[in-house]
Structure 1
């Protein structure tokens, strides 16, 4: 009886100690220390170029730009200090920029109200900022070719636009396949 009383606490202690040893450090899960474990990386060199040259605004882009999707940038931040908030904002914006570039965007609309620097929020030591990506070079290519909006709505015209972007190495083969699939599945 006395052995059973000692066996359960000792077994539990060894079990918990063993689990604690096998758990990885949070820093080893990916990302760099400043942007945190959620840090996005460019999927390709084309995405890296788009992220680097991305136009960032609080306004919706010109007519004809295609939305690529909504994303959230997340970064570690010290929410209790001004420097921590500023660093968190910059890192979360960089994370957001990379995420929308991976979706094929070259224009980022940061969601929220007020100045662009005041958008987003910091809670529980993470800064979060929301945005919507747009592909504007599709609209520019359309206007340069002289296509009208009604002509660009046809399936053939949209597929030709994607083909032209791929041939000019503005999108990778994987992005082309993903966007082509999206175009094929969209209703007219």
Structure 2
């Protein structure tokens, strides 16, 4: 093991132990992803775990590990991450949106591919329109973090403009704010 974490706790029957361990792993990944990078194969396997919370943890871990992925291990995970992103399950999709966002920021050579995958959310099917609007809002959060550089990406502008007519008020407000930021280069837009 590369950390002081007992990974066997992830298989514990005790939910407090299992999910407590998952929380600690997320915190380590945020603060010092190098500690978890040697165990990349474990996180890759967990992407297909039957337990959703462990799957979501693995998705987030991969995102954080993208900051230090000098061996380009994430390349091999794109098909799995794409499936998780476009599977129509809202919470899994939201974690995948978060991770794709981190990959695009941490590995600029993937930014265009990430943007294309995130834009494709508009073609996905969810249980409800509300779920799709929530996922759209998460994509807007990622695009906001990319800054005004998106002005030169007509597909992103079209996506954002479309989102300004969302029935979900929070998604609509995010879209309006982001559109103002992108088009007017207004850094004060939230």
Smaller-chain TM-score bracket: under 0.3
TM-score (norm 2): 0.26
Q: Give the structure with the higher percent strand.
A: 1
TM-score (norm 1): 0.26
Larger Rg over CA atoms: 1
